[in-house]
Amino acid sequence: MKNKIEEKIVAFIDLLGFKYYTDFNISTAYNLLVSDISSIIKEKISDNELHPPSSYTTENERKLAEKKLITSFEYFLPLSDSIFIISSDKKADIFIEQLSSFLLSLFYLNMKAYNENKNENVTEMGVKHFSLNKEGIKIKNVKEFWPPAFFRGGISFGKIILEENFVCIKNSKKHNTVNLVGSAVVSAVELEKIGEKGPRIFCDKNFYDKLSTEKQNKYCVKIRENLYEILWPIAIFIEEEGMQNECNSKFYELLETSYKLWKSFNRKSFGIHYWEFIKLVVKSVLKYCGSSSGKKIKEHLKDLGMERYKINDIVKK
């Protein structure tokens, strides 16, 4: 039987710092890849089942609820430190919002623990380990290296073949799994590997052209011909009245945490990713809130003691 050729959106995202995590402590790699991702996926599926967008009263509430789900993810295919996500071009607008929200949720999962720590250099977070014995549930408080998960990725649109009965082996027996091939798959992988540091998401014109003008203007910046960057931290901003105050508070929360992470890990091999995230957050707030926010950004950076780190280079577009 001939496999069906389809045109689909393909996103490829790759966990940053994975080699360091596995060399340092394989439990850290497991926490980021299995515990964190599974937690967010389950949470978003549960949210849709318990509180679907249709259950909300106003159109703005329905849009906000949908933006935080993963209903545009037709397939979510993880393997080691990489994930393929497949979607329909008819859902391109909601896909870019839901993917951005998904990446932000992964960061937020552990962000609070680092943000609430009063020390500038913090490399571990408090974790509760639960175990069951004859006396009941035992809780052990420990400190673990468990940083927020960061991904770099690429998104394309084009022809693929998605095989749902691809033969593999499980426990020495034949087992079926999902596999995919196609030009969009290759393009998405190549976009992730263009050499840029940090948790950045790039797309080509094939995907960019599937977005509405509104979403192009909101999320995307052109890097060069056939290459665009998606400023996914923009998903943190809720579109409602009082936008400037919201920009100010939510931006500072992201900036403060990313700065603490950078200060804690800047001497590690993966520390550059946190510095690039600071720049990404700044670019995102400039894109969303406008160039007039530049002055406030500089004030926040100075409050964090970053005036010696070339602030002008950070805030410029």
pLDDT tens figures, 23-44: 777 777 777 677 788 889 999 9
Diameter of the chain measured on Cα atoms: 65
Classify each residue of 251-288 as buried b or exposed e, where b means 16 or more C-beta atoms within 10 Å of its C-beta.
bbbbbbbbbbbbbbbeeeebbbbbbbbbbbbbbbbbbb
Which residues are within 8 A (CB) of 227 and not within 5 positions of it... i.e. 6 or more apart? 191, 194, 202, 204
* 101 within 8 A of 235, measured Cβ to Cβ: yes
% the chain with pLDDT above 90: 40
Hey, is 242 helix, strand or coil?
coil
The mean pLDDT of 60-66, rounded to a whole number, is 89
What is the spatial distance between Cα 8 and Cα 138, in angstroms, rounded to a whole number?
Answer: 48
In the predicted structure, residue 307 carries a pLDDT above the cut 70: no
Q: Are strands 173-182 and 220-224 parallel, antiparallel or unpaired?
A: unpaired
Does the pLDDT at position 68 exceed 60? yes
The full DSSP string for 8-32 is EEEEEEEETTHHHHHHH-HHHHHII
Q: Kindly state whether residue 271 falls inside one of the protein's structural domains.
A: no
Boundaries of domain holding 209: 5-237
Residue 309 lies in a domain: no
pLDDT at 317: 45
In a domain, 287, yes or no: no
pLDDT of residue 309 exceeding 80: no
Tell me the pLDDT tens digit for each residue of 91-112: 999 999 999 999 999 888 777 6
Per-residue model confidence (pLDDT) at position 1: 46
57-71, 140-154, 181-195: the lowest-pLDDT one: 140-154
Average pLDDT, the chain: 82
Mean pLDDT of 54-81: 92
Decide if 215 is inside a domain. Answer: yes
Is 74 among the domain residues?
yes
How many domains are there within the chain? Answer: 1
Whole-angstrom distance, CA of residue 270 vs CA of residue 105? 21
pLDDT at 240 over 90: no
Does 291 reside within a domain? Answer: no
Structure tokens that stand for 240 in this block: 């409602």
Report yes or no: 95 and 9 within 8 Å, Cβ to Cβ.
yes
Residue carrying structure tokens 């175990």 = 131
Residues 6+ apart with CB under 8 A from 285: 233, 247, 251, 293, 297
- Res 172: pLDDT: 85
293 domain-assigned? no
Over residues 138-155, the mean pLDDT reads 75
Whose structure tokens read 């607008």? Answer: 93
Q: Is residue 30 part of a domain?
A: yes
Q: What is the mean pLDDT of residues 125-140?
A: 56
Q: Report pLDDT for 142.
A: 59
pLDDT at 159 over 60: yes
pLDDT tens-digit series, residues 194-229: 878 899 999 999 999 999 999 999 999 999 999 999
* 314 burial via Cβ count (<10 Å: 0-12, 13-18, 19+): middle
CATH of the domain at 116: 3.30.70.1230
CA-CA distance, 67 to 166, in Å (whole number)? 32
